[in-house]
């Protein structure tokens, strides 16, 4: 009697956390735009979203963080996350709906260089121990995120936010809050995937640059803090510029 062979099936490729985050963001953003979720409505709980999309809590929180940064929702601690009314399109903002080209992201980095270089210098002069602890927490979260295969956008933005808070000038923090985490290039372009050295070394280098900024602020060296921040953001701009040039070169030779 012949035994029946079980057909071979290809193993499923694991879904990348970045793709999962974007899937949730796009779905919920579409629900908000189409009125399925109206302004003031409470969004499903983290557990409900986890079940619906079959994802981890970390992925859900990162997706909600991006929606919040785009001013689509707000989180009320201990209560839940609620949909916000559409904003006036005439206001300046950086949102999920922007056409995220390399040129767009470079333009935002030029804005950040002007703003955050001075913020780092002021932070070095005015920081408190509480500010330093908050920056250290963001740095730890960044390292934990990249080890967990996340794009580490929320802790990246959090570090820059803590630098802004350490200036003692609320307008720096207010502006950073208004712009949101979409100012981080990885929130709009998958920069780690195009890095020649690979995703993990790329993100580790970003965090090393953050460490240099932190050390200068901790040492209350304003000029070193300004230089470290300018170097960090200029490096990001240069990496994107080179990436854009390579893309154009490949297009012309195809």
What pLDDT does residue 47 have?
Answer: 93
Burial 98-116 (b: 16+ CB within 10 A, else e): eebebeebbebbeebbebb
What would the DSSP string read from start to end of 10-28? PPPPPPPHHHHHHHHHHHH
Residues of the chain where predicted confidence (pLDDT) is lower than 70: 1-18, 86-100, 190-198, 243-254
Distances in Å between the Cα of 150 and the Cα atoms of 4, 65, 142 are: 43, 13, 9
Residue 53: partners with Cβ closer than 8 Å, 6 or more residues away: 20, 23, 24, 27, 59, 60
What pLDDT does residue 246 have?
Answer: 61
List the domains of the chain with CATH numbers. 17-83 (1.10.10.10), 102-253 (1.20.120.530)
Distances in Å between the Cα of 133 and the Cα atoms of 2, 167, 217 are: 69, 15, 12
Angle between the N-to-C axes of helices 102-126 and 170-179, in degrees from 0 to 180, rounded to the nearest 10 = 160
Partners of residue 74 on adjacent β-strands? 82
């Amino acid at each position: 009697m012949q035994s029946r062979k079980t057909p071979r099936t290809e193993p499923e490729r694991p879904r990348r956390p970045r793709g999962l985050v974007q899937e949730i963001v796009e779905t919920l953003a579409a629900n908000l735009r189409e009125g399925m979720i109206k302004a003031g409505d409470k969004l499903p709980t983290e557990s409900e979203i986890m079940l619906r999309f079959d994802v981890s809590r970390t992925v859900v929180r990162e997706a909600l963080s991006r929606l919040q940064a785009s001013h689509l929702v707000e989180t009320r601690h201990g209560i839940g996350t609620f949909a916000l009314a559409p904003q006036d399109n005439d206001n300046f903002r950086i949102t999920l709906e922007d056409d995220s080209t390399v040129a767009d992201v470079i333009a935002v980095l030029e804005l950040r260089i002007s703003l955050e270089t001075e913020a780092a210098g002021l932070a070095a002069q005015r920081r408190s121990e509480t500010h330093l602890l908050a920056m250290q927490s963001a740095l730890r979260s960044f390292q934990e995120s990249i080890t967990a295969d996340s794009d580490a956008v929320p802790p990246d933005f959090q570090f820059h936010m803590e630098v802004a808070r350490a200036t003692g000038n609320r307008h720096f923090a207010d502006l950073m809050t208004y712009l949101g985490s979409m100012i981080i290039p990885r929130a709009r372009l998958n920069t780690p995937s195009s890095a020649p050295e690979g995703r993990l070394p790329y993100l580790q280098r970003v965090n090393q640059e953050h460490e240099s900024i932190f050390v200068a602020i901790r040492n209350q060296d304003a000029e070193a803090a300004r230089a470290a921040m300018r170097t960090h953001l200029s490096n990001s701009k240069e990496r994107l510029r080179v990436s854009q040039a390579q893309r154009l070169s490949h297009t012309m030779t195809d």
